[in-house]
Amino acid sequence: MFVDEAEIILKGGHGGAGIVSFGKRMGSGPDGGNGGRGGNVYLLTDADLTLLNQFTAKYLFEADDGHRGGKNRKTGKDGEHLEIRVPIGTSVIDKKSRETLFEMKKIGQRELICVGGKGGRGNYEFRNPRRTTPEFAQPGLSGERRTVVLVLKLIADFGLIGLPNAGKSSLLNELTNARVKVAAYVFTTLYPSLGVFKDKVIADIPGLIEGASFGRGLGVSFLKHIEKVGILLHCISSESKNPAKDYETVAKEMKSYNKKLAKKSEVILITKSDLTDAKALSAIKRKLKKYAPKIIAVSIHDWDSIEELKNLISDKT
């Protein structure tokens, strides 16, 4: 199951208590130390787009509390900070105010969301000429507490499209380590799969068939996902008996569903290029060159072709 929204409670650690203590020697006075600070809670952006799944089993996350102060004016140890990983593309919304606190757009982005409580002061801090033996200390303060809604508003930079078994899932796995299920039958991919390569989100849009725009197969739901994609990587298998027809089938369904889809920037990928020879690849490129200015032959078994594709993805904005 792919989770794209979650509600969780976050809490900074409680500050440690200050203590009441006096030196062992007569007249040595108060020496109770201060409590340590409670730990903070941070959100950290990660490339793993399934991270919201972790919140289906647990909803309360608390940083460590600060430790009590010690004798001889020793300050208690601060509580450990808590880092919670969330997927790139996550909007962090305060449930009470509905304010968007953060947009987690970059891998490695780290945001402080709950501050830990201050440690209480020990009785040493309360001494003065008129009160030489204070017999009280402060408890620590509570850490900040927030209830937040995490929404994965992911718009893919690139979308892998094409007929079923065009090699889209294998390419996504090779580019992003997405671990998409791959098999040689129609509709292996039933939902869009997502991966990240150098902060660029790539979506494997499930295979389209003729009639998809009218609801055949799983078509309409698939076409909706293409609307959210920036640049299309149109996959045509080198094993195809009619590459031009394969291209036109998908292009026709997109245009029938929404004419704006036909205007999206597009690169054609001739996939599984290791299964044919150079002469055949050249013939396929000639047949397809009228559809797109950029055509790349690519295979997950050809390191150079994968590097060329990675460079293209890196250069595109």
Residue ranges for the known binding site are 162-169, 187-191, 204-207, 271-274, 299-301
What are 31's two structure tokens?
């020496």
Residue 133 DSSP code: S
What are 116's two structure tokens?
């830990």
Element (H, E) at 315: helix 303-315
How many C-beta atoms surround the C-beta of residue 183 within 10 A? 10
**Residues counted in the chain:** 317
The dihedrals phi and psi of 284, each to the nearest 5 degrees, come to: -65, -40
Nearest to 278 by CA among 302, 246, 249: 302
Summarize the annotated binding site for Mg(2+) as residue ranges: 169, 189
Q: Rounded distance, CA 312 to CA 298, Å?
A: 12
Summarize the annotated binding site for GTP as residue ranges: 162-169, 187-191, 204-207, 271-274, 299-301
Q: Rounded distance, CA 175 to CA 314, Å?
A: 12
Nearest to 204 by CA among 245, 164, 251, 258: 164
